[in-house]
Amino acid sequence: MSLYVLADLHLCFSDPTKTMSIFNGWQDYQERIKKHWLENIKDGDTIVLPGDISWGMSLAEAVPDFRFINELPGEKIIIKGNHDYWWTTMKKMEEFLSAEGFTTIKILHNNHYRYENYGICGTRGWVNMPGETQDEKVLKREVQRLETSIRSALAENLEPIVFLHYPPIFATNFNYDILEILYRYNIKDCYYGHIHGRSAHELCVKNTYDDINFHLIAGDYLQFIPEKVL
């Protein structure tokens, strides 16, 4: 069994007009996702999908995208991204997955999942917008969710691995609220997506910074090849 990660699938089977294929590096990306997934991931493996899963505006609209994911090998753990407008309460999402028979998909939200001696932890994250009250409220909630997720793993004596959608560091911008949680709990590895395009990828931290190993795992950066974590 292996653990993989791949962010930013941006699936659009319910509305092909929202395809990302118009952007450089995204040509035939849904076909490439399937091809590389089948080449790397087997039944018994686990893959974390940290956000921007489906362009569906509701769970009903996202059904074809979830079906695509569900039918691929492995257990999938999904985190919210900034474009996941279908996201709703944990209860409604779990009821939806059960009703549709999507048995290989789990939601990571204020919780963790065990993988051997590790805890799969995470949340969407956020960006710092100083002086913006609404953004401060959202950021505070995301920080609380991340801490809740990490603490739940530690309570079971698991080593947390953190998966986020937004990067904690980008170029000269530092999300100190999120970083403080990573430092406080001595997180060694943090995986994040969201950033697209070659010029933007060059501004990302993709190595060890202050004893934390940061990994960019946006779909187009990885060329839609799942990255092995463990």
Give the pLDDT of residue 137: 87
Average pLDDT, the chain: 96
Q: Right CATH number for 3-228 from 3.60.21.10, 3.90.1300.10, 3.40.605.10, 3.40.50.300?
A: 3.60.21.10
pLDDT digits (tens, 9 = 90+) for 8-45: 999 999 999 999 999 999 999 999 999 999 999 999 99
What's the rounded mean pLDDT across residues 150-178?
96
Mean pLDDT of 78-99: 97
Name the one residue in this structure whose structure tokens are 């202050």: 210
Burial of 197 (0-12, 13-18, 19+ CB in 10 A): middle
pLDDT of residue 49: 98
The domain ranges of the chain are 3-228
Question: 224 near 38, Cβ under 8 Å?
Answer: no
Global pTM value: 0.96
Mean pLDDT of 182-186: 98
Instruction: Please compute the mean of the pLDDT values over residues 200-225 and round it to a whole number.
Output: 97
At 133, the pLDDT band (50, 70, 90 cuts) reads: low
The whole-angstrom separation of Cα 174 and Cα 161 is 20
Six-digit token string for 190 = 């943090």
User: Can you tell me the mean pLDDT for 96-121?
Assistant: 98
Task: Judge whether residue 101 has pLDDT over 90.
Answer: yes
